[in-house]
Amino acid sequence: MNDFLEILKYILPSLVVFAAAYYLIKLFLDNEQKKRTTDIKMAGYKIITPIRLQAYERLVLFLERISPESLVMRIHKPELTGLQLQTQLILAIREEFEHNLSQQVYISSQAWDMIKNAKEDMVKLINTAAAKLTDKASATDLSQKIFELAMSDKTVARTALEFLKNEIRLVF
């Protein structure tokens, strides 16, 4: 029994030291793991933040390019008929939209829905303007009708543009 107590005198303090050392090392390693995870996330943010900002910039540019003023001035040619201009305007909107499809990954779902609605609203505006004209209308007639309709109410593109600007301010 005496030998057992002698052995216990040596083993018990060793076990206490081992448990304390194990606990401290585990705590240290957990903290290091958290630091590494945070560093990896921060490195990711350093990479993704400029890309997200660029996505917002591209979508603002898209909204500006499909605004009635910009779109008509860029596409309008006096020798076109109203139907030809209508077709070219809608084609230009669709091409612009398809060019920026990948940007939806970097913005909120609500912002992307606003972008899609702006595109659809602009196509609808062009089609409505064309429907109010005769088949023999010129490109200038269609342009004037588009401007009239665009002036009568605030376009969804303007609303989407304001939404994007506000979202950029909140995110960045």
Give residue limits of the domains in the chain: 2-171
pLDDT for residue 2: 80
* Residue 165: pLDDT band with limits 50, 70, 90: very high
Mean pLDDT, range 110-123, rounded to an integer: 96
pLDDT for residue 155: 78
Q: What is the CA radius of gyration of the chain?
A: 32
Q: What is the spatial distance between Cα 95 and Cα 118, in angstroms, rounded to a whole number? A: 14
* CA distances for 98 relative to 62, 65, 92, 102, angstroms: 10, 13, 10, 8
* Residue 3: pLDDT band with limits 50, 70, 90: confident
Q: Are 34 and 64 in contact (CB under 8 A)?
A: no
pLDDT for residue 152: 80
> Per-residue pLDDT tens for 16-64?
999 999 999 999 999 999 999 999 988 888 888 899 999 999 999 999 9
Burial category of 29 from C-beta neighbours within 10 Å (exposed 0-12, middle 13-18, buried 19 and up)? exposed
pLDDT for residue 9: 85
> Per-residue pLDDT tens for 59-112?
999 999 999 999 999 999 989 999 999 999 999 999 999 999 999 999 999 999
